[in-house]
Amino acid sequence: MATSGGKVLDFEEYVRTRQEALLRSARRLVPDPVDAQDLLQTALVRTYGRWDGIADKSLADAYLRRVMINTRTEWWRARKLEEVPTEQLPDASVDDGTEQRADRALLMDILGVLAPKQRSVVVLRHWEQMSTEETAAALGMSTGTVKSTLHRALARLRQELQARDIDARMLERGEQERARQDQERCAA
């Protein structure tokens, strides 16, 4: 019985320390915050039953994320389409997400200017929202190295964004100048 109690305490301690990071991962999988909490709770219940089978507890986050992905996929497959036939279509404005996709494409493109080590640090610290210590442990480097690498990487990203902004403004001015010249030719 002591083993079972030890298992419970071990699992509870893990959940207490990793709950926020796991909830962030769940939020990336489902858009609704309540559904994200439900997803995490379901994944925790499923993981608890297999907790003793996870020999390397440092891989528990990866295991739990996989359980969340599988659970989300099960939910998606089991969903019911709630379509109701009507005589008239509702007027609905559709946000096509073009701007969001453009921002994401720019981010992915700009990350490409960084060295692989810098990119890893930026993604873990800002995308995965890991602490400096967690990032250092994940990448096998000291916290000081993580901090200095992150500082240089963010400076490089700012520099690249500024350069692209200047290029875009110059391109826009050139287009405006050509349009003005075309108008002058048409007027003459």
- Tens-digit pLDDT profile for residues 15-58: 999 999 999 989 988 888 999 999 999 999 999 988 888 888 88
Q: How confident is the model at residue 188 (pLDDT cuts 50, 70, 90)?
A: low
* Residues in contact with 15: Cβ distance below 8 Å, sequence separation at least 6, in sequence order: 22, 44
Q: What is the pLDDT of residue 2?
A: 39
CB 54 within 8 A of CB 63: yes
3-state secondary structure 164-184: HHHHHHHHHHHHHHHHHHHHH
Q: What mean pLDDT comes out for the span 1-14? A: 69
| Cα four-point dihedral sign 85, 88, 91, 96 | positive
Q: Report the helix count and the strand count for the chain, using DSSP H and E.
A: 7, 0
Instruction: Indicate whether 4 pLDDT > 70.
Output: no
Q: How far is CA 152 from the centre of its chain?
A: 22
- Higher-confidence residue of 117 and 80: namely 117
Q: What is the pLDDT of residue 30?
A: 87
* Residues in contact with 134: Cβ distance below 8 Å, sequence separation at least 6, in sequence order: 124
- Higher-confidence residue of 178 and 78: namely 78
